[in-house]
Amino acid sequence: MFPLRITFAFKGEKGNYCVESSVNIAEKLKLYTAEFEVDVFTVNSLINRLSVKEISAHNKIVRVADINLLEKILDNRFLFTEIQFEFPYFFTTDELKNIFFKLEKFIQMNKIVISIYLNKSNINLLETFLELACKLNIKKIVIPNPDLIEHLKFVKKYYLTLQDLNQIDIIKKYMPLMDFSVHDFFMAKRLGIKDALLFRGCQSGKFLCYILNGNVYPCKTIPILCGNLDKESFEVIWKKVDMVVNKISKGKFCLKCGSSNICYYGCPGTVFFINNGIKDPLCEEQYGNIPG
């Protein structure tokens, strides 16, 4: 079985060389969702390729972290079903307000989704973030799992623990006003989000993977390189992805936990790369060794 969802990330000048082959893979596999992450070096290459090579994916999502790229993306909005702007992992109050100020001119006539990874450095600004989003009439917010390929050191220092979860309760106040897509099972469950069960366990190696400049990973939260598309076909690499995930699918605490049939062992990326292979840092069980 091949994945239903792949995120293709093109970053730096090197990313330009991967656009054509990645778009070809997206079309060959008949993906349900094709996501594209681009930066200032690669945005033109992706737009040019999709303009001549249409893909049949049901969802075609583009994500940028540079607000200056939104105008270019919006000029070509017909190529995508969803446009996402990704906030930085760290920001001050003034920086947050400045980002929303710049977003305003793009959002008035367009449906832009915003994405924010919640961590200890920004959780105290969550209510301010939500208030500003409401003022711009944002209709959807994505709260993804962490990118441990590029931000492992930062996330290790600032990831949320079970004790921090009460701070996300403010989101409930805004749920009648906008849609929240929360990719962490424990967060989604606490918020009472209807599709929380979809995010139990790990879908990497079964339904999704992440490809950064031709390097194939199970997902952004599992920083284990499984192969490179310049050296092997995707079909060959894909078999390795499932094997990699199976090796780290269960934390030490999870093996003897009677609740593992509820969470399906949580996120293996955070279990093994953030919490020393013990259990998901947001696990609700009380007897795990969760770092302070």
Once rounded to an integer, what is the mean pLDDT over residues 169-176? Answer: 97
Complete domains list, the chain, with CATH: 5-248 (3.20.20), 249-292 (no CATH)
pLDDT band at 156, cuts 50/70/90? very high
Tens-place pLDDT, residues 37-86? 999 999 999 999 999 988 999 999 999 999 999 999 999 999 999 999 99
- pLDDT surpasses 80 at 2: no
Say which residue the tokens 């599709």 belong to: 195
Tens-place pLDDT, residues 80-98? 999 999 999 999 999 999 9
pLDDT of residue 289: 41
Strand ordering across the sheet containing 208-212 = 179-182, 140-143, 112-115, 82-86, 59-64, 33-38, 5-10, 208-212, 215-217, 227-228
- pLDDT surpasses 90 at 261: no
| Spatial CA neighbour of 64 closest among 121, 113, 124 | 113
Q: What angle do CA 260, 261, 266 make, to 5 degrees?
A: 50
pLDDT of residue 264: 86
Q: Considering the chain, what percentage of its residues have pLDDT values greater than 70?
A: 97
